[in-house]
């Protein structure tokens, strides 16, 4: 078969560029320069110089014979003349072609290709470049130059993303505009839209076979169930079936669990346990359920830990287990089981596990896995409802959880997802603009647009909120370091639409209910770890609530080239693109030895049968080296193996109930044997390290160096311990530093100040202040007055709660080893801390 021969003419000043093209190849066989000359017969070839052959420039002059060129024209399957040239010049070429009875056609070709002596048509795939169109290959070449000149240190993945965007939009200027987008522009920044679907069959509430009190309560809000709720009813929700409900945030899946729980309560099948991963979320659900279900005379309690510190803000909470609804954290309910007190929960009709995707959490996943298995074993007739917005392999999860699967993939409101590449110094201005634009809008339901900003640290929460406030925007920060009252103030103000923006940490607010229309990802990380796709989908799902908004907005603001850990190859903008592209990876459940030991020991709290113990662990996601771990638990004197039976020793009971590792348990045992004081024992178990120096910035200016704000970081410890530089610090701050050094750094350790004594003494200070009756916020004020050191009330509260749990463990272990004086001292201190 003969090759397809095309010949293209393109005007080049007084001459013509000629391209000899075989089989439609973009790289011509050869490219030449044609000079025409007029004689008595008309215009004829005068010189045809070959400039390039098979893509290579010719160094020596080479000419093509005129007669051979005419023969080549006669053989051509197609003769083309590039449009856009001079009409007079085209007449000259036409004269030549007509003389040999050759036809030609005008075509649009890429100007950039022509200048590079290549060939490509302008067609539907071409890219708009300023006021003309060029081929995709040339557009990519030009884009490559712009990206290189931007000096934004982009990774290969990001460059590929820009290429994809270029080919998708077919607009060079709009693609390049992504590098410096000043505000949301659907034509420039929008990545995609997650569409809503409204044409779905909804189940009428009046027709539901449910208790009258529940029906009336539901009818006071709506006449129909939402789609995911209707699907759950079809899957056996009202028939006592276990369900795994996978649906985006704001689709109404929470009410699925509530309907099952309340219906079972009203029909005498038992109370509802509603379990969540976060204390903040438990507090919020407790408040919501109290308001909602007091209308039908149901009682609500909260269980969020082994013991609860009594403060003015928490003393009013109902904590008894004798309630219709118990809202608890995973650990709060697990503590009851680990104590061997499952009977104290009474008759349980429904267990709702919210945010069940936490099974895949690398730190807490094994505990949730074990908790679910123990609950299923303890309450075999109970209905289990598992809720999640994202699960990588829902069919596998449903099978493992012995549940019917309900998947609802659509949102009730659409979400626009935008990507803005921003430099660090531009972010606050950009975010301020986005917040103001959103707050100025009102939905058809009458609600202002409000924003959640996710960032990767508490410090950034305060910094960003402060920067926005300086621009006149009422902004609030929200994180686990705040106490309950502080968090509630923010939640209530935001809920009433009084503040346009909340800045929060990714780890905390993914599950807390803020009715936002816009979510901004200021960072692509949690701490120093990149966000997972699952976390991202959970958090972005906060944008757009059906009762408030007509649509949601999600904005990612990565800094090109930024990373949080040295040695990581991914950069922030590459992570942002990967998050948008999605695709959940299947999770692995590989538990290390400590985790296997903990879960096996915890499960012995609910059964003494080795057969049943194996049954519990076969139902878990993680695999266990059961026999080997049991032998190790026996060696540690945590259990006794008695044929087909297994029992916890008293030491094992305490370790299990108080979430103590083997090493911490024996640290307590050895310390009690050595008659170490109770205060020393608890502070050796856990230091309080979340302290910051309030005046670090001012001291940095005095010393002309950049000091970290964390008190127990190396640079700050060196300055205080050395003391030689303190003369350069202003007297006010010098006194505070000297007070701290005098109280914390007096020890005889060779490794001082890195021996741990300073951290232990500071932790003791917090404990002792609490034993004098000070509230967490009062403890912080005292530390600020004495040392200029500050902390978050929530962190102090958590530390004191851990201290209470450890003190109770110390008390019980001391009793076990007949050290009654230490047991009494631990009890006395525990009661003082509890308040």
**Based on the domain organization, do 90 and 137 belong to the same domain?**
no
For residue 722, what are the contacts with CB-CB under 8 A and spacing of at least 6? none
Q: Residue 639, Cβ neighbours under 10 Å: how many?
A: 23
Question: Closest Cα partner for 406 from 422, 386, 383, 392?
Answer: 386
Q: What is the dihedral of CA 706, 711, 712, 715, to 10 degrees?
A: 20
Q: How confident is the model at residue 748 (pLDDT cuts 50, 70, 90)?
A: confident
Residue-number span of the structural domain to which 496 is assigned: 415-572
Residues 404 and 419 in one domain: no
Q: What pLDDT score does 245 carry?
A: 95
pLDDT band at 150 (very low <50, low <70, confident <90, very high): confident
pLDDT of 306 above 60: no
Rounded Cα–Cα distance for residues 699 and 552 (Å):
44
Report whether pLDDT(584) > 60.
Answer: no
**Is the domain of 435 the same as that of 360?**
no
Is 580 domain-assigned?
A: no
Last residue of a domain, one of 605, 624, 659: 659
pLDDT of residue 509: 52
pLDDT of residue 183: 63
Do 344 and 291 reside in the same domain of the chain? yes
pLDDT attached to residue 538 = 79
Q: What is the CATH number of the domain that holds 469?
A: 3.40.50.300
Distance CA 357, CA 420 (A): 29
Asked if the structure places residue 200 within a domain, the reply is no
Among 381, 408, 435, identify where a domain stops. Answer: 408
64-88 per-position pLDDT tens digit? 999 999 999 999 999 999 998 899 9
564 and 608 co-located in one domain: no
Confidence (pLDDT) at 118: 86
State how beta strands 404-408 and 383-388 pair.
Answer: unpaired
What is the 3-class SS of 257-268, one letter each residue? HHHHHHHHHHCC
Kindly state whether residues 403 and 424 are assigned to the same domain. Answer: no
Question: Residue 2's pLDDT is what?
Answer: 63
Q: What are the tokens at 732?
A: 């006010």
Predicted structure pTM score? 0.74
Of residues 291 and 529, the one with the higher pLDDT is 291
Note whether 647 and 599 are same-domain residues: yes
Same structural domain for residues 615 and 549? no
Higher pLDDT, 289 or 58: 289
120 in a structural domain: no
Angle between helices 678-685 and 820-834 (to 10 degrees): 70
CB 174 within 8 A of CB 419: no
Question: Above pLDDT 70, what percent of the chain?
Answer: 93
Residue 489 lies in a domain: yes
Q: Which tens digit of pLDDT belongs to each residue from 688-744?
A: 988 888 888 887 788 777 777 778 776 667 666 666 667 778 888 888 888 888 888
Q: Once rounded to an integer, what is the mean pLDDT over residues 140-167?
A: 84
What's the pLDDT band for 296 if we cut at 50, 70, 90? very high
Q: How many domains does the chain have?
A: 6
Query: Has residue 1 got a pLDDT over 60?
Result: no
Q: Is the pLDDT of residue 189 over 70?
A: yes
Strand partners, 476: 502
Contact 17, 117 (CB under 8 A): yes
pLDDT exceeds cutoff 80 at 576: yes
The confidence score (pLDDT) of residue 182 equals 62
| Burial class, 497, CB count within 10 angstroms (exposed 0-12 / middle 13-18 / buried 19+) | middle
The DSSP H or E segment spanning 247 is strand 243-247
**Cα(326)–Cα(341) distance, integer angstroms:** 15
d(CA 140, CA 488): 52
My answer on whether 162 and 40 are in the same domain is: no
- Shared domain check, 109 and 169: no
pLDDT digits (tens, 9 = 90+) for 252-262: 889 999 999 99
CATH code where residue 614 lies:
1.10.10
Poorest-confidence range of 472-486, 648-662, 707-721?
707-721
Give the model's pLDDT for residue 655.
Answer: 95
Please indicate, yes or no, if residue 588 is contained in any of the structural domains: no
Interatomic CA distance for residues 400 and 404, integer angstroms: 11
If you average pLDDT over residues 170-183, what whole number do you get?
A: 80
Q: Which of 281-295, 445-459, 565-579 has the lowest mean pLDDT?
A: 565-579
336-349 pLDDT, tens digit each: 999 999 999 999 99
Cα 531 to Cα 543: distance, rounded to the nearest angstrom: 17
Assess whether pLDDT exceeds 80 at residue 585.
no
pLDDT at residue 730, as a whole number: 84
Q: Are 404 and 386 in contact (CB under 8 A)?
A: no
Q: What is the pLDDT of residues 496-551, one digit of tens each?
A: 889 999 999 875 555 567 889 999 999 988 877 888 887 888 788 888 887 788 89
Say if 674 falls within a structural domain: no
Residues 612 and 536 in one domain: no
Q: What is the residue-averaged pLDDT of the chain?
A: 88
- Asked whether residue 664 is assigned to any structural domain, the reply reads no
- What is the per-residue pLDDT across 357-393, written as a single tens digit (0 to 9) for each? 889 888 889 999 999 999 999 999 999 999 998 777 8
For residue 639, give the H/E element and its range.
strand 639-642
> Is residue 153, in this structure, part of any structural domain at all?
yes
* pLDDT of 749: 78
Identify the helix (H) or strand (E) that includes residue 690: none
Is residue 249 within 8 A of residue 538, CB to CB? The reply is yes
287 & 398 share domain? yes
Work out the end-to-end distance of the chain between its first and last CA atoms, rounded to an integer number of angstroms.
95
- Asked if pLDDT for residue 583 goes beyond 80, the answer is no
Higher pLDDT, 268 or 147: 268
pLDDT of residue 466: 92
In this predicted structure, the answer to whether residue 308 has a pLDDT above a threshold of 60 is no
User: 183 or 281, which is more confident?
Assistant: 281
């Amino acid at each position: 078969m003969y090759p397809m021969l095309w010949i293209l003419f393109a005007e080049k000043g007084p001459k013509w560029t000629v391209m000899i093209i075989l089989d439609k190849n973009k790289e011509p066989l050869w490219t030449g320069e044609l000079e025409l000359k007029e004689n008595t017969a008309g215009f004829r070839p005068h010189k045809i110089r070959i400039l390039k052959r098979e893509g290579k420039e010719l160094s020596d002059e080479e000419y093509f014979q005129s007669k051979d060129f005419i023969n080549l024209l006669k053989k051509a399957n197609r003769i083309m003349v590039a449009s856009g040239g001079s009409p007079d010049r085209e007449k000259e070429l036409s004269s030549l072609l007509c003389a040999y009875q050759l036809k030609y056609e005008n075509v649009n070709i890429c100007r950039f290709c022509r200048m590079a002596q290549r060939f490509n048509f302008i067609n539907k795939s071409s890219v708009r470049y300023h006021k003309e169109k060029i081929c995709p290959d040339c557009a990519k070449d030009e884009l490559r130059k712009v990206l290189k000149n931007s000096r934004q240190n982009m990774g290969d993945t990001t460059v590929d993303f820009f290429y994809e965007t270029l080919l998708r939009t077919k607009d060079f200027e709009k693609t390049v505009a992504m590098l410096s987008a000043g505000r949301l522009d659907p034509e420039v920044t929008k990545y995609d839209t997650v569409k809503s679907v409204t044409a779905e069959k909804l189940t009428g509430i009046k027709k539901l076979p449910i208790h009258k009190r529940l029906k009336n309560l539901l009818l006071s809000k709506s006449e129909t169930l939402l789609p995911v709720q209707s699907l759950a009813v079809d899957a056996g929700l009202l028939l006592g079936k276990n369900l795994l409900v996978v649906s985006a945030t704001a689709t109404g899946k929470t009410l699925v669990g509530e309907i099952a729980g309340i219906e079972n309560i009203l029909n005498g099948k038992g109370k509802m346990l509603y379990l969540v991963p976060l204390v903040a979320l438990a507090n919020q659900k407790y408040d919501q359920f109290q308001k909602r279900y007091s209308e039908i005379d149901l009682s609500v309690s909260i269980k969020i830990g082994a013991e609860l510190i009594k403060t003015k803000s928490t003393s009013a909470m109902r904590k008894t287990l004798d309630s219709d609804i118990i809202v608890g954290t995973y650990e709060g309910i697990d503590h009851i089981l680990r104590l061997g007190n499952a009977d104290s929960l009474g008759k349980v009709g429904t267990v709702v596990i919210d945010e069940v995707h936490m099974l895949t959490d690398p730190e807490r996943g094994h505990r949730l896995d074990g908790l679910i298995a123990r609950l299923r074993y303890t309450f075999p007739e109970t209905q289990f409802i598992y809720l999640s917005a994202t699960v990588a392999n829902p069919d596998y999860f449903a099978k493992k959880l012995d549940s019917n699967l309900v998947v609802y993939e659509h949102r009730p409101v659409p979400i626009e997802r935008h990507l803005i590449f921003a430099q660090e110094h531009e972010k606050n201005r950009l975010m301020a603009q986005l917040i103001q634009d959103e707050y100025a809008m009102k939905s058809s339901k009458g609600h202002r647009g409000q924003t959640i900003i996710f960032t990767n640290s508490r410090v950034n929460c305060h910094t960003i909120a402060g920067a926005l406030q300086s621009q006149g925007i009422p902004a609030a920060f929200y994180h686990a370091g705040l106490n309950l009252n502080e968090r509630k103030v923010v939640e209530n103000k935001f809920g009433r639409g009084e503040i346009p923006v909340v800045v929060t940490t990714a780890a905390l607010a993914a599950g807390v209910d803020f009715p936002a229309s816009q979510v901004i990802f200021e960072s692509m990380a949690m701490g120093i770890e990149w966000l997972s796709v699952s976390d991202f989908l959970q958090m972005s799902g906060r944008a757009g609530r059906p009762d408030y908004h007509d649509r949601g907005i999600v904005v990612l603001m990565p800094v090109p080239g930024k990373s949080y850990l040295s040695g990581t190859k991914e950069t922030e903008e590459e992570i942002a693109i990967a998050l948008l592209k999605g695709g959940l990876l299947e999770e692995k459940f590989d538990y290390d030895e400590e985790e296997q030991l903990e879960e096996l020991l915890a499960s012995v709290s609910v059964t003494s049968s080795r057969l049943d113990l194996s049954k519990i662990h076969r139902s878990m996601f993680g695999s266990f080296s059961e026999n080997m771990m049991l032998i190790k638990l026996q060696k540690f004197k945590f259990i006794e193996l008695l044929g087909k039976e297994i029992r916890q020793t008293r030491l094992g009971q305490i370790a299990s109930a108080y979430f103590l590792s083997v090493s911490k348990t024996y640290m307590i045992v050895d310390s009690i044997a050595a008659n170490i004081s109770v205060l020393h024992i608890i502070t050796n178990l856990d230091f309080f390290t979340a302290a910051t120096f309030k005046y670090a910035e001012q001291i940095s200016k005095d010393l002309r160096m950049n000091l970290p704000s964390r008190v127990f970081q190396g640079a700050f410890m060196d300055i205080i311990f050395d003391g030689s530089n303190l003369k350069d610090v202003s007297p006010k701050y010098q006194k505070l530093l000297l007070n701290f050094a005098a109280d914390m750094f007096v020890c005889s350790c060779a490794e001082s100040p890195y021996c741990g004594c300073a951290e232990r003494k500071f932790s003791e200070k917090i404990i002792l202040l609490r034993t004098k009756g000070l509230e967490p916020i009062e403890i912080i004020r005292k530390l600020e007055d004495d040392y200029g050191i500050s902390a978050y009330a929530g962190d102090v509260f958590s530390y004191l709660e851990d201290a209470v749990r450890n003190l109770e463990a110390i008390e019980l272990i001391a009793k076990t080893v007949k050290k009654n004086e230490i047991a009494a001292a631990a009890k006395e201190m525990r009661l003082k801390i509890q308040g």
